[in-house]
A and B are shown apart, each in its own frame.
Chain A
Amino acid sequence: MSATIQTAHPETEQPGRLPPQKMSSRLDGELLEISMGPQHPSTHGVFRMNVALEGEIVRKLKPVFGYLHRNHEKIGENATYLSSMPYTDRLDYFCSMTNNWAYALSVEKLAGIDVPERAEYLRIILAELTRLQNHASLLGFLLSDMGAWGTPLMYAFREREKILDLFESLSGSRMMCDYMRFGGCRVDADDAWLAAAKNIVDRFPKFLDEFEALILQNEIVIARTQNVGKLSPELAISAGITGPMLRACGVNYDIRKVDKYGFYPRFKFRIPLGDHGDTYDRLMMRALEMHESVEILKQALAQIQPGPVVNPKVKIRAFRPPVGEAYGRIEGPKGELGFYLISDGGPNPYRYRVRPPSFINLTVLEDLCLGHTVADVMVILGSVDIVMGEVDR
């Protein structure tokens, strides 16, 4: 069940915004090659782009990866299945709960493990809370990149901190939660925790309304984002773009609806879709998805029943899945997060592969940025939503 939500998007020409190709200040047409990053504040970590500029216009852009590479996959192959679980927290350190879930889901597919009902509910609650805090902080960062230093980011972080407090009281850690286990979750949430979560979820729409009123109709935000970094649905599908970035192009593909993993079919929620595939739509996707996440959370917190949170049949020590392979994926806040595992029957995986959404979403970075100014590159990169821990692994 999905609905196209029309985003406010006037088609009129933006005043004061010249068509990009006419803004060249150089007459000889020679390209100036500069290196942006890896220490640039807007690259969200150690990300570098080699950019060829004609005046202020980007004519070529080559991303340079690897500054945070530590061969996560090799470490995963040399560790037991369970000992990779805390290490998945460090992939996308904003969303450790969804990383845990994707990995647990893949191992459960590999070994054929069932998950108790309460654990599925807890997983959905934590995943949607993760989505809320990820999207809120992304919007804050994006505005920071546009020059709204501090204030919107602090508004977003204020809400994020409440959610991280929930994570901390449940798992013992704000960001490196290490909460999921194969066949369930590590500890149970008590009634006080659920009440606290409900309290935060109930108050979240107030923040959303305030935040949206503050930024989404803002003239500067509209001028900086509309018609910037347009992505066509055909290119998005071919380039494997997933998550809010894909749906901003109007492609109705949400793994929560497609794969029906967890208990998502039990909840009523809509999939927001964009019309133009530009930066403004990508920004709107995050805002609209937060509304839907709040809806899921309200239903999940009302429906959750007492019960066991972990499948007692799953071995913790000497856990050896049968010979075979499995690919499991979830709809992470940044896109499709998948784990591909090959078991040779041993205690550690023969092959441990992470399918990182933000790495593959960068495939089209050059296509998005060509013809735009350097200042737009920062906004476009911000709207892709990358975390280098996941890009470089």
Chain B
Amino acid sequence: MFQAPLAIVFGEADPPFSLMETLEEIKNRAELAARGAKIDIVVNPGPSQQSSLLIDNEHAIAVAQFLRDHPALAFDYCSNVTGVDWLDRVVKKTVKVKQVVDGVEKEVDQTTEETISGYLEAVYHLFSIKHKHGPLIIRMRTANRTDRARLPSLTPIWRSAELQEREIFDLYGIHFEGHPDLRRILMWDEFVDHPMRKDYRDPDDYEWEPTPHDDVLERAKEHYAPRPQLDGAENITANPQ
């Protein structure tokens, strides 16, 4: 699994984008401008060197406004907005620890397992049309994947997020608070699930004509109405009393 380690380091190599400042400097300035904001740098281990800023949800609007309005940064153009689904996962870390074994100090590998509970993530790719630099990538994370899948909407800052946040709401189920028109966009309004989630299961049949088996059968039970015994007909109720 792709780990997104939270560390306050920026890649050693030159930043691939022609940003005026490094990510570290942007982070410090944004934290000064939006009081109380907590920003972490999410290091991208791949060769693309596109590291990103993880912004806390309470101050997201203030940070976004700062990034857009600061004259040297001027990220006036939000190109891409997208969701990512991270399930519960276990991250194994191997650390060398000095231990005294039989009176001799030795370096021993110690493996720790850390369980990270799942969350949904919204990723914004920002560019500056004024200064022609970018991308600056900012991300926000929900508290969990179920009842607290809420994020502040950045549509008031960048209008280009309007349709794309609707799409994330539709396909990932993140509620964007402050979005002017949060409705399903690609799926139909009556649809109940969020198809881009990693644990999504297709309905047994989109036409509600069941041919269910296994875990699809469990899902299908929801739309079998319990029927009274008809004369002569066998009990076809999926959840018998």
CA distance A345 to B46 in the complex (A): 10
Report yes or no: A344 in contact with B160, Cβ–Cβ below 8 A: no
Cβ contacts under 8 Å, A325 to chain B: 2, 44, 46, 48, 50
Residue tally, chain B, CB below 8 Å to A: 37
Report yes or no: B196 in contact with A71, Cβ–Cβ below 8 A: yes
Tell me the nearest residue of chain A to B46, going by C-beta. A324
Please pick, from A71, A235, A323, A343, the residue contacting B159 in the complex, using a CB distance under 8 A. Answer: A235
Q: Evaluate whether A363 and B160 lie within 8 angstroms (CB atoms) in the complex, with A240-B77, A350-B2 already known.
A: yes
Report yes or no: A363 in contact with B76, Cβ–Cβ below 8 A: no
Report yes or no: B50 in contact with A323, Cβ–Cβ below 8 A: no
A220 within 8 A of B: no
8 Å CB interface, B188-208 against A = 188, 195-196
Report yes or no: B46 in contact with A355, Cβ–Cβ below 8 A: no
Cβ contacts under 8 Å, A216 to chain B: none
Please pick, from B48, B76, B160, B188, the residue contacting A66 in the complex, using a CB distance under 8 A. Answer: B188
A112 within 8 A of B: yes
B1 within 8 A of A: yes
Cβ contacts under 8 Å, B187 to chain A: 66, 69
- The residue among A66, A240, A343, A353 with the most chain B CB atoms within 10 A of its own CB is A240
Determine, out of B93-101, B103-111, B129-137, B230-238, the stretch whose residues face the partner at the interface.
Answer: B129-137
A318 within 8 A of B: no
Cβ contacts under 8 Å, A71 to chain B: 171, 186, 195-196
B84 within 8 A of A: yes
Cβ contacts under 8 Å, A323 to chain B: 2-3, 45-46
Tell me the nearest residue of chain A to B43, going by C-beta. A324
Q: How far is the CB of A204 from chain B (nearest CB, A)?
A: 30
Report yes or no: B132 in contact with A258, Cβ–Cβ below 8 A: yes
Q: How far is the CB of A91 from chain B (nearest CB, A)?
A: 14
A93 within 8 A of B: no
Cβ contacts under 8 Å, B184 to chain A: 66
Report yes or no: A240 in contact with B46, Cβ–Cβ below 8 A: no
CA distance A61 to B48 in the complex (A): 41
CA distance A237 to B84 in the complex (A): 25
Interface size band for A: 35 or more
Report yes or no: B125 in contact with A327, Cβ–Cβ below 8 A: yes
CA distance A118 to B193 in the complex (A): 47
CA distance A112 to B48 in the complex (A): 7
B33 within 8 A of A: no
Q: How far is the CB of B137 from chain A (nearest CB, A)?
A: 7
CA distance A253 to B164 in the complex (A): 22
Report yes or no: B159 in contact with A345, Cβ–Cβ below 8 A: no
Q: Evaluate whether A362 and B132 lie within 8 angstroms (CB atoms) in the complex, with A237-B77, A240-B79, A338-B80 already known.
A: no
B62 within 8 A of A: no
B144 within 8 A of A: no
Report yes or no: A363 in contact with B159, Cβ–Cβ below 8 A: yes
CA distance A181 to B44 in the complex (A): 24
Report yes or no: A238 in contact with B158, Cβ–Cβ below 8 A: yes
Report yes or no: A253 in contact with B129, Cβ–Cβ below 8 A: yes
Q: How far is the CB of B226 from chain A (nearest CB, A)?
A: 32
B interface residues with partner A (beta carbon < 8 Å): 1-3, 44-48, 50, 76-80, 82, 84, 123, 125, 129, 132, 135, 137, 158-164, 171, 184-188, 195-196
Q: 6 smallest A-B Cβ distances: which pairs?
A: A324-B46, A240-B160, A112-B47, A326-B48, A344-B2, A355-B80
Q: Give me 8 other A-B pairs in contact (C-beta within 8 A), A327-B135, A342-B2, A392-B186 excluded.
A: A65-B186, A71-B186, A110-B47, A238-B76, A238-B158, A323-B3, A323-B46, A345-B2
A–B complex contacts, Cβ < 8 Å, 22 sampled: A65-B186, A66-B188, A69-B186, A69-B187, A239-B160, A240-B158, A240-B161, A321-B46, A323-B3, A324-B48, A325-B46, A325-B50, A326-B50, A327-B50, A327-B125, A340-B82, A344-B2, A345-B2, A351-B82, A360-B164, A364-B159, A393-B186
